[in-house]
Amino acid sequence: MDFKKVVQARHSVRDFSDKKVSPQTIKNIVQLAQQAPSWVNSQPWKVYVAQGQSLQAIKTKFLENETAGKKADPDFPTLHREDWSEETQANMKQWRHEIVHYFENFDEAHATMTAASDALNYAPTILYLTIPKNSSAWSVFDLGAFAQTLMLAAKDQGLDTIPTYNSVRYPAAVRNALQIPDDETLAVGISLGYAKDTHINGFRSKRVDVDDILKFN
């Protein structure tokens, strides 16, 4: 696929079919993502694949924790929305506005998005990314480059993705299911699969004007 088309076609999918993603396809995608740059070629990332029984165990434990009202404990701390910059808060507010107007009303938007999120987007595969504990901020930057390259590689193979916070809200369950060592930071889970032809998957978030972020001096 043409590179520009791949970039423009990639978007967050929230409702996947149960069609399986083959191990070879996953290997091809990850191998291509390895071309991402990193500090002194440190390549700090690892990828753990959750499918079948391991993924079901993660999903089941997630719902148990949610139902019990268990406090989230992600390896990467989260920031309250009020503590973000004014510009990023405005962008998030605009995103919520777009979501509500994409559906019939707030109640439908909230119910549909919440159901998908709680089901970890019905994904048949989640790729969990880690970096060594106590890594520098540069390794986090490198992991972001790796993750984006991975998602573009997936799109080029005809698959869709979404990186999610919910997938790592309760890291203990993920570590147990995938045998992730304690000396690795569980950064994010990327749902991977084939998108269903459903209304929720038709949503496309907008971007600010390029002149708002591009500065020439």
Q: What percent of the chain stands above pLDDT 90?
A: 98
Q: Give the model confidence (pLDDT) of 67-77 as tens digits.
A: 999 999 999 99
Q: Give the model confidence (pLDDT) of 156-195 as tens digits.
A: 999 999 999 999 999 999 999 999 999 999 999 999 999 9
Can you list the domains of the chain with their CATH numbers? 3-80+121-201 (3.40.109.10)
Mean pLDDT for all residues in the chain: 97
CA 10 to chain centroid: 12
Tokens standing for residue 46: 């690892």
Does the structure show a pLDDT above 90 at 39?
yes
Q: How many angstroms separate the Cα of 13 from the Cα of each of 177, 191, 206?
A: 24, 9, 15
Residues facing residue 49 across a β-bridge:
127
pTM of the full predicted structure? Answer: 0.96
CB distance 169 to 188 below 8 Å: no
Q: Give the model confidence (pLDDT) of 73-119 as tens digits.
A: 999 999 998 999 999 999 999 999 999 999 989 999 999 999 999 99
